[in-house]
Chain A
C-alpha cells in the first residue's frame, strides 16, 4: 500500500501559540486515518494546511503525490474538504450547490449535472434537491456538504469533525455514508473529538495534543497500551465500599481504587467473565447491596484520559456530546446509549462498554476516578 498522504515535521505557529510542533503521519491509500485530539490540539490546523488553505511554517506535506506548499493547484484538484460547519450556499438549492461546485472543479455542465444527480441520490437528498439549502436540517446540510466535496471524485477526502453538532440519528447516518465511501476506495483523513466515531470509522489513529503526536496505532493497540479490563462495583451504602474493596482485592492485578463519592470500587483484572463470577461469589456472604456491577473494557475515552490527563471533550460543552459507548457495544448500541449517560459539559462520563452482568443505571461521574488513573497508567 502506498501512502497517499505524507506529513513530516509539520510546524505552524500563530502569533503566540504553536498550533503544530512537528507533526508526522502517513495515510495509506484507501484507508481512514482518525486524527484525534481535544479542541485546540491542532487537528483543524493540520487539515487546513493539507487542504492548501494555510501555509505551514515548517515541515513537508505531500497529498496525492503533490507538495501542498509548491503544487497547491494539483493538490486542490485531488482533494475534497468538508469543514467543521456545513459550507453550503443557503440560497442555492441542493442541486444548484452541487452543480456550482462541479463547475468550479471544471467538470463541465452536463457532467456536473449528472454527478450532482448521482450524489443527491446517494446522500438521500433527492426529495430536497429543488429546495434552497436554507430549509435543510443540520444533518441534510452536512450530507450536502460532503456530497459537494465528492463531486469530482477526489481520491483524498478531508472530513473535519463531520458529525459535530449532529443529533445521534444523523450521526449514525453519516457514519454509514462515510463507511460506504471507504468501500469505494476513497482515502479519508477524519478529525473528530468523538472517540466512538474514530473507533468506528478509522483504520488507524493519531492522537495529538498541544500540536504534538502523543500516540498512534489502531484503536485496539491504543486500548491495549492503556491497560486491560477492570471490574466496577457500585454499592448502595457508602459504608460498604471499603468492605467490597477488601474482599475483591486478591482478584486484581493491581490494588483496587475506591471512590467514596460515587460509592464505586474499580479493580484492574486479567481474564474475562469468569473473574466477574468469582468476584460476585466472594461478595456472597457480605450483605452488600449492589447498584451496578460490570466488567469494563477500556474505550478510547480511557485512552484519551490516560494520554492527555483530560477528556477529549473537555471544555467543548457540546450538549449532545456522546460519551464513549465503545468496543463491542458501539456497533449496535449507537450513540443513543452514550447520550443517555448524559455527559454534561463538566464531566464526561466514559460509562459505556460495560460487558457482562451490569444493570447500568445512569453512571455517575466515572470521569473522576478515570482521571485519577492517569497517574497510574501513564507518566
Chain B
C-alpha cells in the first residue's frame, strides 16, 4: 500500500466509525434536523408575516439563508466530537497507532459532511412544503448544494482547531455558539441588508455567510427577476467570492489542524 492509499483507507475506517455513531445515536440526527425544520417554520410564518422582500416571496428568500446557517451549525459537530474524543482518551489511542496522521481529522470532517447532507435534504423537503422552489437547471442547483456543503466542510476544519484547543465539548458548544450566531445573523440570511446601519451593512455584505447565501439564491433561482444584486463586489460575485473563502480556509486550516492534532496531548 502506498502512503496515499493507506491514508485514504485509514480515513475511510474513521469515517465509518463516526457514521456508526450517527446510526447508534438517533437523537443526534433527530435533533440536528428538527432544529432547522423549526427554524424554517418559525421564520417562514413568524418573521415572514412581517418581512417583505421586494419581488419575491419570503419563503424563497429565506430558504437559502437557512441552508447556510444550518450547514455552518452542522460543521460545529466536528469540533465538539473531537473535543469529546480528546476527553475520552481516544485521540491518544489513535495517535499511538501506526495510522495516517491526517486520518482522524479527515474521517471526522467527511463524516460531518454526511450529517450535513441529511439535514440539507430534510430542510429542502420542508422548504418545498412551505413554498420554496428551485427555478434553475439541475447542474445549477447541484452547484448550489455543493457550495453549501463545501463551505461547511471548510468550516469543519476551523471547528476542528477550536475543538482541539478547548478540549471539552461543553465549552466548545458555548464558545462556538457566541461566534456562529452573530456570524449567521449579521448577514443577508434572514433579512435584506439594505436597511442595516452602514458599518453593519459593510460587515454583512463582506461576510462569507452572506455571499454563500447569495450564491445559493442565485444557483437555486431565488432572486427577484432582473434585479441587480446589492452594491458590494462580494455580493455581485457571490459564487466566486465564496469559493475563494472555501479554498482559502482549507489551505490555511487543514495543515494547521493536522499540526494541532499531532501536538495535542491530554492535560
Question: Which A-chain residue is minimally distant from B85 (CB atoms)?
Answer: A89
Tell which of A98-106, A276-284, A306-314, A347-355 binds the partner: A98-106
User: Would B98 and A105 count as touching, CB distance under 8 A?
Assistant: yes
Task: Return chain A residues, CB-CB under 8 Å to B92.
Answer: 48, 53, 81, 83, 87
User: Would A81 and B93 count as touching, CB distance under 8 A?
Assistant: yes
State how many angstroms separate the Cβ of B32 from the closest Cβ of chain A: 16
From B9, B88, B90, A103 is in contact (CB under 8 Å) with B9
Tell me if A85 is interfacial: C-beta within 8 Å of chain B.
yes
Chain A interfacial positions (CB closer than 8 Å to B):
48, 51-54, 73, 76-77, 79, 81, 83-92, 96, 100-101, 103-106, 132, 148-149
User: Would A91 and B25 count as touching, CB distance under 8 A?
Assistant: yes
User: Would B265 and A104 count as touching, CB distance under 8 A?
Assistant: no
11 residue pairs bridging A and B, Cβ less than 8 Å apart: A53-B95, A53-B96, A53-B265, A85-B88, A87-B93, A92-B17, A92-B21, A92-B24, A100-B17, A104-B103, A105-B98
User: Would A87 and B265 count as touching, CB distance under 8 A?
Assistant: no
Tell me if B185 is interfacial: C-beta within 8 Å of chain A.
no
- Chain B interface residue count, CB cutoff 8 Å, equals 24
User: Would A87 and B17 count as touching, CB distance under 8 A?
Assistant: no
Task: Return chain A residues, CB-CB under 8 Å to B103.
Answer: 104
CA distance A87 to B92 in the complex (A): 8
**Extra contacts besides A104-B10, A132-B24 (6): CB < 8 Å:** A73-B98, A76-B97, A87-B89, A91-B24, A92-B17, A104-B13
Tell me if B51 is interfacial: C-beta within 8 Å of chain A.
no
User: Would B13 and A100 count as touching, CB distance under 8 A?
Assistant: yes
Task: Return chain A residues, CB-CB under 8 Å to B21.
Answer: 89, 91-92
Known contacts being A89-B17, A91-B21, is A101 close to B97, with CB within 8 Å?
Answer: yes
Known contacts being A87-B92, A105-B97, is A54 close to B24, with CB within 8 Å?
Answer: no
Compute the total of residue contacts between A and B using a CB distance below 8 Å. Answer: 71
State how many angstroms separate the Cβ of B176 from the closest Cβ of chain A: 22
From B16, B25, B88, B96, A52 is in contact (CB under 8 Å) with B96
Question: Which A-chain residue is minimally distant from B99 (CB atoms)?
Answer: A104
Tell me if B199 is interfacial: C-beta within 8 Å of chain A.
no
CA distance A48 to B91 in the complex (A): 13
Task: Return chain B residues, CB-CB under 8 Å to A132.
Answer: 24
User: Would B24 and A104 count as touching, CB distance under 8 A?
Assistant: no
Task: Return chain B residues, CB-CB under 8 Å to A81.
Answer: 92-93, 96
CA distance A101 to B96 in the complex (A): 11
User: Would B20 and A91 count as touching, CB distance under 8 A?
Assistant: yes
CA distance A84 to B92 in the complex (A): 11
Tell me if B6 is interfacial: C-beta within 8 Å of chain A.
yes
User: Would B93 and A148 count as touching, CB distance under 8 A?
Assistant: yes
Known contacts being A53-B95, A76-B97, A106-B6, is A85 close to B89, with CB within 8 Å?
Answer: yes
